[in-house]
Amino acid sequence: MVMKIALAGNPNSGKTTLFNVLTGANQSVGNWPGVTVEKKEGVLRGHKDVKIADLPGIYSLAPYSPEERIARNYLLDERPDAIINIIDGSNLERNLYLTTQLAELGIPMVAAVNMIDVVKKRGETIDCAVLSKKLGMPAVEISALKNSGIEELVIAALGAAEKRVSGEVKKIFGRAVESALAEIEASFAGEVPSCEKRWYAIKLFEGDPQAAESFKNNKGALAAAKEVRERCEAEFDDDAESIVTGERYGYIASMIHEAHKKQGENLLTVT
């Protein structure tokens, strides 16, 4: 059986470099349907039954730019067996924003922390065990340019794809937002597969237009989401999308605080 793995990440995270390392000459290039955005697919070296789809470089899974829509629709509609999320380790905060969103899709996933050569050259370290625990997925340090960590990454990605179920999606928001999301999830009844519930609860809470469109026949869920959203917006005196973004960055800051050490930090001084 053919397995599908999607490669997702920010622009300039090293996605093309990694795609080339993973697939070698086994690539085909076309366009995504209806748009002039390049679509690259390839076969994983040494694994002829594993296809790698290179998604456009994106900063978030909002449905606003063509690149975001392509990546998001591919992941939602095709539900690949796994996602490799390439993260520029020298730009953790910005890159982890997308990572936390991808994790909500309920698709098995591996974080590939790239540019580790740059990180090390700066005298910094990234603790992948901490990232892995906080993200609820394997995290592997790599340098796509120097071809290091690739074997470990492939093993982790194939392992995730074979399991077919994602790890438990971490509850990264504060108590009020988490309880709002639980209320929205409860309104789905049996209509949404359990691995997709959190994604749709967050999107409906945010008032995401594309998610609302896919729930147009489920008026109960839309009404529940609206009621919960309005209540939270009044409580926070802010709009739902900003509340979610703010709390997402809060969680990312706590992850980085634990996982990213700069030169001279946390060294014991003996007097």
The residue (of 98 and 105) whose beta carbon lies closer to ligand BGO is: 98
The residue (of 89 and 106) whose beta carbon lies closer to ligand BGO is: 89
Taking the complex as a whole, how short is the minimal distance between the CB of residue 122 and ligand BGO, in angstroms?
A: 11
143 binds ligand BGO (CB under 6 A): yes
76 binds ligand BGO (CB under 6 A): no
* Integer Cα distance of 177 and 163 in angstroms: 30
Q: Is 152 helix (H, G, I), strand (E, B) or coil?
A: helix
Angle of helix 197-206 relative to helix 219-236, nearest 10 degrees, comes to 60
CB 158 within 8 A of CB 47: yes
Taking the complex as a whole, how short is the minimal distance between the CB of residue 25 and ligand BGO, in angstroms?
A: 17
117 binds ligand BGO (CB under 6 A): yes
Taking the complex as a whole, how short is the minimal distance between the CB of residue 147 and ligand BGO, in angstroms?
A: 9
Q: Which stretch binds ligand BGO (CB under 6 A): 143-151, 210-218, 222-230, 232-240?
A: 143-151
80 binds ligand BGO (CB under 6 A): no
The residue (of 67 and 247) whose beta carbon lies closer to ligand BGO is: 67
118 binds ligand BGO (CB under 6 A): yes
Q: For residue 54, give the nearest of 102, 89, 22 by alpha carbon.
A: 22
The residue (of 65 and 214) whose beta carbon lies closer to ligand BGO is: 65
For residue 43, what are the β-bridge partners?
Answer: 51
Taking the complex as a whole, how short is the minimal distance between the CB of residue 118 and ligand BGO, in angstroms?
A: 5
Could you say which residues in the range 23-62 bind ligand BGO, by CB under 6 A?
57
Angle of helix 240-259 relative to helix 219-236, nearest 10 degrees, comes to 70
Q: Which stretch binds ligand BGO (CB under 6 A): 5-13, 75-83, 204-212, 236-244?
A: 5-13
Cβ count within 10 A of residue 93? 12
Q: What is the DSSP track for 94-124?
A: HHHHHHHHHHTT---EEEEEE-HHHHHHTT-
Could you say which residues in the range 145-174 bind ligand BGO, by CB under 6 A?
145
Taking the complex as a whole, how short is the minimal distance between the CB of residue 202 and ligand BGO, in angstroms?
A: 26
CB-neighbour burial class of residue 208 (10 A; exposed 0-12, middle 13-18, buried 19+)? buried
Q: Residue 181: what are its φ and ψ, rounded to 5°?
A: -65, -40
Question: Beta strand 109-114 with 139-141: parallel, antiparallel or unpaired?
Answer: parallel
Binding site residues, ligand BGO, CB under 6 A: 9, 11-17, 57, 114-115, 117-118, 143-145
